Amino acid sequence: MRTRYSSAQIVLHWLVFVLVVLAYATMDIKNTFAKGSLIRELLTLTHYSLGFCVLFLMCVRLFVRAMYVTPAIKPLPPRWQNCLAAITHAVVYLMFICLPALGILSQYYGGHDWTIFNIRMPGSYLPDLPLQKQLKNLHGWLADAGYYLIGLHTFAALWHHYRRRDNTLIRMLPGKNQRDKSLLRE
Ligand code: HEM
Ligand code: HEM
């Protein structure tokens, strides 16, 4: 019986982790440069590209997740903890799909050209600046909430590892004897 997540899930998890860190970092670093400067512009465009990758990979993760059985935690936690973990994971998926989607929508309604990986993205024929502002605000609020959510998620993983001493974290770390076929759903 498999004791870890599949290799695909592990790779995707840590790749998304790096992209999320970089998406936050680009916005934080951007604010240290003068408005209108080239570097500020580049950081903003990088933010869009990183955020788009997060959206895409989170959707891929949902598909991959449906293909594999989630390995059980050993020793088995109480039922309420499993429920809480399931709810938190659902919220994390929802958050990191809605957050970039709102960012993209806000650009769409902006009425000016914008790019992802230097590819020109469509904008609405009828720009709606008040709506764009609302979407940007919502994006900013969700991004702030995202810090706390990831903090909680990370705390839970470390609590399981160091306090409860179960294999929750080990299941999400790369390791040997990955036989992914044995985890595929029938
Ligand atoms: C996981 C993905 C993303 C994260 C974690 C994220 C995070 C953030 C953060 C922390 C801010 C600063 C908010 C503030 O200053 O109140 C921000 C601003 C913004 N983000 Fe994102 N974002 C993501 C994806 C995207 C995507 C895909 C787009 C659009 C293509 C986007 C467009 C924007 C815009 C337009 C702003 C406002 C920038 C400004 O007013 O200067 N974001 N984002
Ligand atoms: C240092 C930071 C992080 C650590 C230590 C960590 C650790 C873990 C661990 C141990 C699991 C397995 C939990 C279980 O099965 O009960 C997990 C699952 C998960 N993590 Fe993270 N994580 C981190 C950051 C992130 C970030 C930034 C995201 C954002 C997208 C994320 C999204 C998820 C999701 C959606 C799951 C559920 C996986 C599934 O069942 O499909 N994690 N994480």
Distance CA 139, CA 99 (A): 6
Query: Quick one: which ligand is closest to 107's CA?
Result: 1
Tell me the per-residue pLDDT of 26-43, one tens digit each, with 9 for 90 and over: 999 999 999 999 999 999
Q: Is residue 28 part of a domain?
A: yes
Q: Is residue 21 part of a domain?
A: yes
Q: What is the mean pLDDT of the chain?
A: 94
**Measured in whole angstroms, how far is the alpha carbon of residue 56 from the centre of its chain?**
10
CB 4 within 8 A of CB 175: yes
pLDDT at 175: 81
Q: Is residue 185 part of a domain?
A: no
Q: Is residue 18 part of a domain?
A: yes
pLDDT at 134: 98
Q: Is the CB of 169 under 6 A from ligand 2?
A: yes
pLDDT at 90: 98
Query: For atom 3 of ligand 1, which residue has the closest CA?
Result: 51
Q: 17 alpha carbon to ligand 2 midpoint, in Å?
A: 8
Q: 101 alpha carbon to ligand 2 midpoint, in Å?
A: 20
pTM summary value: 0.94
Q: Is residue 181 part of a domain?
A: no
C-alpha triplet 153, 158, 162: angle, nearest 5°: 155
Q: Is residue 90 part of a domain?
A: yes
Q: Is residue 151 part of a domain?
A: yes
Q: 164 alpha carbon to ligand 1 midpoint, in Å?
A: 36
Residues of the chain falling short of pLDDT 50? none
Domain count of the chain? 1
Q: Is residue 27 part of a domain?
A: yes
pLDDT at 97: 98
Distance CA 167, CA 75 (A): 8
pLDDT at 113: 83
pLDDT at 3: 85
Total H helices, total E strands in the chain: 4, 2
Its domain, for residue 51, covers 7-172
Query: For atom 2 of ligand 1, which residue has the closest CA?
Result: 51
Distance CA 55, CA 19 (A): 10
Pick the atom of ligand 2 nearest to 157's CA.
10
pLDDT at 2: 75
